[in-house]
Structure 1
Amino acid sequence: MDMEIGTKLKEAREEKGLSLESLQETTKIQKRYLEAIEKGDLHILPGKFYARAFIKEYANAVGLNPSELLEEHKSEVPSTEENEIEYTRLQRSNREKRRGRSNLFNFSFIPTLIVVLLVIAIVFAAWVFYQKTTANSNPDPVPEQNDEIIYSEDAEGESNDNQTDVDDEDEGNDDTEDKKNDSEKPEFSVVEEGSGGSPESELDLNNLKDNVNIKLSLDGDTYIQIDGESGENYLEGMINPDESPEEIDISDEEKVYFNIGNAPALTIEINGTELEYPVDPEEYVHQKIWVNLNKKTE
């Protein structure tokens, strides 16, 4: 027997003249899940959280108010209290990991290099001073001919000045090279921040090379769909931490689409640069993101 909420959604779809295929294209929810919602077979869906999330997407697509619909039929839709407890635990774990990564990247390599160079310069200066002191305390024997030996302090001083100049030049070159490498790393920027219950955002990723790879790391189960602008589907379905990390080559694409069911559990990196969710993933667990892959021109 059909559930009342499923019947109401189906009637709203038919009134708008929408087919399940067109609804699948709009919501990015697989047709078999849409049919399950209409028939009331919510146990077919990936989990309790997805039942509520998919119903919200369906309601938005056919012009119904999802909050009012869920409240009116709350006895028919499974509660997500247990899932919320689990997501809270996952979110806490994610925050701790991100805090650790943030502390790691806040440690700058350049100050460390400067300290090392200063230590080397001090050691070198001490060695030169020691050599000069030793030479002065143990002068070479004076020949019997009483020939006068003249030590050129100017030449030695000039040598030290030249060495200092070389050290300064090397230090400057190292700093310039480090800054150049930092500026060439891939970098995300927000083009448009999404809104609504399942926000759809757009990002730019600049400074990419010809080879582009996605790395997915998971702390929990999540639904993920990855499509290229070319029309190729790279991944769709539920994945779990046992399958992590997952790596995907998208070098032939200029734009890629992510449909993420459990954002707090999923970390996305493209060519080693982590994607920061434009909308708080702890508040909006279901997010859709387009990323423009802007490759460098030589």
Structure 2
Amino acid sequence: MDTIGEQLKKARLKKGLTIEDLQKITKIQRRYLSAIEANDFDAMPSDYYTRTFIRQYAEAVGLNSRPLIRRFEGKPDESYEQLPSATPVKGSRKEKHQKEAKKQTSFKSYLPVVLLSLVVIAIIGTIIYAMRLDIASGPLVPKPEKTVVIGSSSAQSEESQSQSSTTESSKETKESSSKKADNENKFSITSDATELVTYAGKNVSTPIKLDFTALEGPVWIGLQQSGTNAIYYQYTLQPGETISSVVPEEATGIDIIVGASNNLSVKVNNKELAFNKANPTTGKKIITINFDTTKENE
């Protein structure tokens, strides 16, 4: 039978993960991961950390950690444990059937009340949903975007010249913004796996803004600075909901932990990241973005 380390290593290789990939997923130091695969548990800080690291390793490679931890503790496999002895049933069968009949009757008596409560809740939910749609739709008579003033020909000429000047200024601003955007906020994928994708950002403008949008279903996100295990922000988005967050100024990288990758759209400084395109998954995925805010010479 394979040892604890052999089982974990086979599962890791089956998923196509390296020790470095596993270190980024679990945040466990590489030397401890290698020690677990070599069954060198004396190299661990304590038995508590050994059990914790085995559990995190097993979850990352899709194994059940309970049998592995029981084996580390020297306990027998659960399949070989002695089954509990049967407890005799007190009383006659007639009394037992009478008690069951009373339970069924009691449930039937509460059934109409439960159904009525469900109907009331459904009606209230429909009213609230309709009110939200009505609020989102805005006023019945929209506010005009511009006002037309009827006056002398000179006034109309001045208005025409003002509109022409505004249009030219707007075009120049858009062209300038377009050229600036071409030279900034460049993101390229450096590694891409099913559960982990890494980006390198070049010429990233600050402050760095993250936009998250839930698509067809709810999705959980968590944010933490790269190299740390502390999640400083977490939230569950509902379908169609969008939230924004600004990366801390001192951060040189960010880890975005996603609970349902196929339901999330991510933008960094208005640049959308196709993080789930090459190796799509519907489950957990970690997006690591390393930022370089140094501007290249134009």
Q: What is the TM-score when the length of structure 1 is the normalising length?
A: 0.40
Using the size of structure 2 for normalisation, the TM-score is 0.40
Rg comparison, structure with higher value: 1
